[in-house]
Amino acid sequence: MKKATVQQGANNKVGDKVGIQRSCNRWLMLTETELQSLAGDFAAMLTDHDCHHPALVFFLQGELGAGKTTFVRALLQSLGIRERIKSPTYSLVETYQAEYGIVQHFDFYRVKSVDELEFIALRELLDTASLVLVEWPEIALAELPAPNWELTLEHQGSQRRALLSEISAATPPATPAAN
């Protein structure tokens, strides 16, 4: 993945010149403001990323109220989304058009069976997206592409423990060699 230079965030623990790379693969203790700053740093990195297909896939994991939707909301606002950003807990998916491309935000918390995903035309939505954000991905793993990034959040008093992991590089698929 192309490394981006990001603006300094609200707190040096997260938002410094190496931004996401420095925050990656280690547990961070974050306030809500710092979590939002991390989302802003990630958005800055995305806007520097010039590959939109296949989509960049981001899994968000954690218990209810841990901050998954807070992170997504801050990320989308940082990508220039000005409309109301709501949790797709009941609708299962919300679609946004950003300058970056189409963003699909899924929340599978209420899904009891993978068969329910046919109702939302999951495959077609994935095909059109530049960025896919998935809350509660474990419910639909068999139907989802492998993630490029994963954020795990846990309650820790008034703060959150956050682990951001780059799972696979966001690169376009290789073009098959001609025989």
- Residue range 53-166 forms a domain whose CATH class is alpha beta
- For the chain, the structural domain boundaries read 53-166
By CB atoms closer than 10 A (0-12, 13-18, 19+), residue 121 is exposed
Q: What is the pLDDT of residues 102-158, one digit of tens each?
A: 999 999 998 888 888 888 888 888 888 889 999 999 989 988 999 999 999 998 888
